[in-house]
A and B are shown apart, each in its own frame.
Chain A
């Protein structure tokens, strides 16, 4: 049972470099999410995809782009990395979506990114 798989697990970038975080889920979920977690803080939503073919901004989208490649995969791209993007990034998926219903989220193990 793989669940939600994120790659890479660790990455060090220099300021200005670009990279893509990959996420895949094998649970046939409709919705997928990218969150970032900084020390002492909760999770902040970067982007989400309620269903295949749609993406929407979350709380902190600046400096990021996303692609919902298909139902399984949702990638997060940093076009020009900045030190402020040093964080742990979590991908998650959910079976349910709707105006008033967001069910249980399943999380990956995280991708730890350092921008020097």
Chain B
């Protein structure tokens, strides 16, 4: 079964707008990661946030983690058409020794 559940399943916005994707999970974790997948390509790591961290930034990306609610969000500011992709959260730790468990992903479309 999937550890992460992402919301929304699909998001369509205009260039320049912010995009927010949410991820919920069920068990305790050591860290949570976000990945991006362009159509027909492999996944690319974006950012990792540890369970003792609440917020992390990387360029136009901002990730928050609320372990009490078992949820995380990924914010992409000032979106560009090139940000069009699928975004996945993945959790590590707890009972998932040495491996990541992925959510089903959010498909983001940014219109020029």
Q: How far is the CA of A85 from the CA of B100 in the complex (A)?
A: 21
Residue of B nearest to A112 (CB): B40
Q: Does A74 contact B (CB under 8 A)?
A: no
Say whether A98 contacts B101, CB under 8 Å: no
Residues of A within 8 A of B44 (CB): 107
Say whether A40 contacts B93, CB under 8 Å: no
Residue of A nearest to B88 (CB): A42
Residue of A45, A48, A105 contacting most chain B CB atoms (<10 Å): A105
Say whether A100 contacts B30, CB under 8 Å: yes
Say whether B41 contacts A101, CB under 8 Å: no
Residue of A nearest to B105 (CB): A42
Say whether B2 contacts A42, CB under 8 Å: yes
Q: Does A31 contact B (CB under 8 A)?
A: yes
Residue of B42, B93, B97, B105 contacting most chain A CB atoms (<10 Å): B42
Say whether B42 contacts A98, CB under 8 Å: no
Render A24-48 as a binary contact track against B, CB cut-off 8 A, 1 for contact: 0000000101010000111111001
Say whether A110 contacts B42, CB under 8 Å: yes
Contact of B102 among A42, A97, A106 (CB under 8 A): A42
Q: Given A90-B43, A107-B44, decide whether A48 and B99 contact each other with a Cβ distance below 8 A.
A: yes
A interface, over-half SS: loop
Closest chain-B Cβ to A32's Cβ sits at a distance in Å of 11
Residues of A within 8 A of B108 (CB): none
Q: How many A-B residue pairs have CB under 8 A?
A: 72
Query: In the complex, which residues 82-110 of chain A have their Cβ closer than 8 Å to any Cβ of chain B?
Result: 90, 92, 97-110
Say whether A43 contacts B88, CB under 8 Å: yes
Render B31-68 as a binary contact track against A, CB cut-off 8 A, 1 for contact: 10101000011111100100000000000000000000
Closest chain-A Cβ to B60's Cβ sits at a distance in Å of 19
The 7 closest A-B pairs by CB, nearest first: A107-B42, A102-B92, A42-B102, A100-B30, A43-B102, A42-B104, A104-B45
Q: 18 A-B pairs, CB-CB below 8 angstroms?
A: A31-B98, A41-B104, A42-B88, A44-B102, A48-B99, A50-B97, A58-B99, A98-B98, A100-B92, A102-B93, A103-B92, A104-B45, A104-B48, A105-B33, A105-B43, A107-B43, A109-B42, A110-B41
